[in-house]
Amino acid sequence: MPPGLVIFDCDGVLVDSETISLSVMLSVLAEAGCVLTVQEGYAHFLGKSLGSVGEWLKRERGVTLTDALLAEMRHRLLSRFEADLQPIPGVAEAITALDLPVCVASSSQPDRIRLSLRVTGLLPLFEPQIFSATMVANGKPAPDLFLLAARTLGVDPADCVVIEDSPAGLTAARAAGMRAVGFVGGAHAEPANLRLEVEKLAPESIIDTMADLPAVLRGLG
């Protein structure tokens, strides 16, 4: 049987946003006196909710994400997205070819998810099945968000397949009892050393082009 639900992460899977997001975050943090390398940023922020990022910054760097910092980060990020954000190549065609129920489950806030999908032309493929970490108590790597999506759409977690680029997301999928496909084709894959990090978590398959996704999911069925 084919999967009952395919759950897509958004950033780095549907939209090629991770290099933009990290650039903005590191710039704002540096202006606040917290200088991090690109490698540190990917290692500690990739795929994680803003709450998890804030906890790490407070614990490891003594930096509090104040309302002013968050507002500046948000303003710059959404402006960059409106101007520069692109979809992952071939993702719309791959989703259409699946002919399966799909949804989005992202660590980002709901308005950012919808903006990302709108400017890249992907929103009609998912609306209204969009789930944000703001809807659950614990973001990725906890399984809460994926379990919420499955429960809301009436699908057994064992019948779900998650498409993720981040170790946090793949960990969440495993904790939710779901199969996973690791995607390592975003612009951030090389600077984040993504393939190696994804391989460590041994998902059912790893792809670097969305054109391969339909065949991979048929194989999982």
What is the pLDDT, as a whole number, of residue 51?
84
Cα–Cα distance measured from residue 208 to residue 212, given in angstroms and rounded to the nearest whole number:
8
Predicted pLDDT at 220: 86
Q: Is 9 a catalytic residue?
A: yes
Which whole number is the average pLDDT over 136-161? 97
Q: What is the mean pLDDT of residues 172-198?
A: 96
Candidate list 9, 16, 144, 165, residue with the active-site label: 9
Q: Give the single-character DSSP code of 88.
A: P
pLDDT tens for each residue of 50-86? 888 999 999 999 999 999 999 999 999 999 999 999 9
Prediction pTM value: 0.90
The b-or-e profile of 145-157 (16+ CB within 10 A means b, else e) is: bbbbbbeebebeb
pLDDT tens sequence across 85-119:
999 999 999 999 998 999 999 999 999 999 999 99
Of 28-32, 48-52, 86-90, 141-145, the one with minimum mean pLDDT is 48-52
> What is the pLDDT, as a whole number, of residue 56?
95
Q: What is residue 50's predicted lDDT score, i.e. its pLDDT? A: 81
Query: DSSP assignment, residue 127?
Result: T
Tokens 């699908």 correspond to 155
13, 88 contact by CB (below 8 A):
yes
Does residue 189 register a pLDDT over 80? yes
Q: What is the mean pLDDT of residues 148-164?
A: 98
What are the structural domains, with CATH classification, of the chain? 5-16+86-220 (3.40.50.1000), 18-84 (1.10.150.240)
pLDDT at 221: 67
183-197 burial by CB neighbour count: b if 16+ within 10 A, else e?
Answer: bbbbebbeebebeeb
pLDDT at 47: 79
Judged against a pLDDT cut of 90, whether residue 1 lies above it is answered with no
